[in-house]
Amino acid sequence: MEYENNVNIKKMYKYQLEDLDGAEYEKYLKYLNFFYAKPHSKDKCNREYINDKYVLIDKSKPNKKIIITPAQFINIQSLYIQLKKRCDEILFKITNIIETKNEITEANHREFDILKKEYISAKEKLKDIELINDEHYKKIEELFAKKIDLLNDMAKYYQKREESYSKIDVSIMEPLKRKLIYMYKVNNKKIPQLAIINKVAKENNVPSAEIEKWFDWIESVHQYMVAKFEINKLDNTIDKMEDDYDLNTKYMIIKKPIIEE
């Protein structure tokens, strides 16, 4: 875990969430894509890989170079397991120092201080990872609670839809049904006023009460569909959050890329 020791996990995770869409990282990806693209005779730069760095060398001006130090990544969930194991090892060593039957030497004191610092550092990183996990799962739980409310609404509107349809006594032709749906839609998805309902009823020789029932059914269908749409949207949000979380924790940047132009 050599290179993890000085990593500020909280800071780097924040960078990963907020800055990966920035211009600087986009430039890094552009150069990286060029480096790994199939060479072409029209390319303006040659490619070299020197000391773990990507180097683009201008063909017309060899002294003009772009040097890219790549980003470094780590799986912070794997790191969490390693840190937990390391903390147990440190505590075991500290216990042995404290409980030794021999006199505690100056070397023991130095070792104790080193182990103590390493333990504190490891515990801080564990805490940061736990906060990242807790924050993610808290958001997921909030979304699932919202989904439960929407499912309750959907069940309520489904029942209302069935009940309103069962109250209809007069069937209507499909063109009139489409007209009523259109009227509901252009009226800001509200049932029109009674005067309009009476007019439609008279024009189509259907009792006004039946037209009202059809509008009640249309409204209940709309409410049901809205709840269903919101659930689907919420599911997509949850899926994206889970995918992003998996990606960001499996491949968390611990060192930003450096571009020297």
- Report the sign of the C-alpha dihedral through residues 128, 244, 77, 51, in that order: negative
Whether 116 has a pLDDT exceeding 90, the answer reads yes
Per domain, the residue ranges of the chain are 142-242
Average confidence score pLDDT of the chain: 91
The percent of residues in the chain predicted with pLDDT above 90, rounded, is: 75
Q: How far apart are CA 7 and CA 159, in angstroms?
A: 55
Kindly report the pTM of this predicted structure.
0.75
Instruction: Give the pLDDT of residue 241.
Output: 94
Whether 20 has a pLDDT exceeding 80, the answer reads no
Q: Please answer whether residues 57 and 46 qualify as being in contact, where contact means their C-beta atoms are separated by less than 8 angstroms.
A: yes
Whether 104 has a pLDDT exceeding 70, the answer reads yes
* Confidence band, pLDDT 50/70/90 cuts, at residue 89: very high
Instruction: Give the pLDDT of residue 4.
Output: 54
Instruction: Give the pLDDT of residue 1.
Output: 44
**Per residue, what are the HEC states of 189-215?**
CCCCCHHHHHHHHHHHCCCHHHHHHHH
| Residues 6+ positions from 181 with CB-CB distance below 8 Å | 218
Q: By C-alpha distance, which of 153, 158, 168 is closest to 212?
A: 168
Query: 48 - beta bridge partners?
Result: 55
* Confidence band, pLDDT 50/70/90 cuts, at residue 2: very low
